[in-house]
Amino acid sequence: MSRALRCLFAVILLLAPAAGLAAPRRVEPAPDVHTVLDVGQPLGPGDYVWDTDEVPAGPTRIVVDLAKRRLYVYRAGVEIGRSYIVIGPPEQPTPTGRFPILQKHADHYSSTYGGAPMPYMLRLTWGGVAIHGSAVEEDWVTHGCIGVPTAFARILYAHAKVGDQVIVTRNWLPAAYP
């Protein structure tokens, strides 16, 4: 093989990822989850359910569905909590993605947003996004955070650990959970 041809192959290999020619990234399948919660009817502002009876020990995962305005809590793949949420408005949207809980603080006040109370805060980013207790109403009331009823925030705070994964999406299980 000529030197020019080898150089061409080397350039192609170097540029392939930028051109989208690299091998596709592994798509993570949706986790196998089950619910034991008796919700009864769709949740409205301020509503939540929590039940850990007969649920085995295991890792905790939190899923936030921005479109449905719901937060789901799973332990060992079993749903143990669900809450109505408030989120950021279009001009300060709640970010989507996968976030580890970076910090917990039960009596937190925002240094970014004028000392706003953020009870039972679970920090998701160092840029001011967290899950925390809030007056949960139908209107937008956060600066991009995920607000949950304060009573639910207290329970979630007791169960969540630094490092637990939080997935924030716009379309979690659209038809499965009201």
Predicted pLDDT at 85: 93
* Active site residues per annotation: 132, 145
- Quickly name the fold that domain 30-169 has: L,D-transpeptidase catalytic domain-like (2.40.440)
Question: In the chain, where are the structural domains located?
Answer: 30-169
Taking a C-beta distance cutoff of 8 angstroms, is the pair 143, 72 a contact? Answer: no
For residue 14, which phi and psi values (nearest 5 degrees)? Answer: -70, -35
| pTM for the predicted model, two decimal places | 0.75
**Considering only CA atoms, which of 111, 169, 113, 105 is closest in space to residue 131?**
105
The strand pair at 103-109 and 78-84 is best described as unpaired
Q: 120, exposed or middle or buried, with CB in 10 Å at 0-12, 13-18, 19+?
A: buried
Low-confidence ranges of the chain (pLDDT < 70): 1-41, 139-140, 172-178
pLDDT, one tens digit per residue, over 135-159 is: 877 766 777 889 999 999 999 999 9
Predicted pLDDT at 82: 94
For residue 114, which phi and psi values (nearest 5 degrees)? Answer: 60, 35
> Which tokens in the block code for residue 178?
């009201």
